[in-house]
Amino acid sequence: MPYHFKLETILNLRRNFEEQACLKLAGEQRTLDNHSVFLTGLRTERTTMIAEMEERKKKRMTGAMYSLYVEGIGMQDWRIQVQRNTVEAQKQVLMRVREELAEAVKQRKMIEKIREKDYLNYQSEELRREQNENDEQAVLRHNR
């Protein structure tokens, strides 16, 4: 009689949950990477704006132009702060998804441990059954 694990469908379900959690983690990590790259771009733009303003200040610059640069840099600072908040929020999402993945792995491993114990019980039962058959055959041979 071949081995059959009664909870095989649950084990497959847990494996699927784990795989979904892995895919979700990869997606959230990709989103975080994109947000981080965008933040780096915003910082680079701000640095460029400041350098451009400093270069223009060396020459003649009107008050309106100076005000425009200062306002633009202020707006860029605001965009950077918003993006920092977005990155931090995404980090929190990523941590939550990691916890979900850890829980999915834990659940799968728990079922796999049950399966291992069940298989060991099956093997010992099969050995006991074989031993009983061998004993019966030995008794029958000895009685002849």
Per-residue pLDDT tens digits for 90-126: 999 999 999 999 999 999 999 999 999 999 999 999 9
pLDDT over 80 at 50, yes or no: yes
pLDDT over 90 at 79, yes or no: yes
Would you state the pLDDT for residue 144? 67
Report DSSP letters for 95-142, one per residue.
HHHHHHHHHHHHHHHHHHHHHHHHHHHHHHHHHHHHHHHHHHHHHHHH
Per-residue pLDDT tens digits for 14-29: 999 999 999 999 999 9
Indicate the pTM of the whole model.
Answer: 0.77
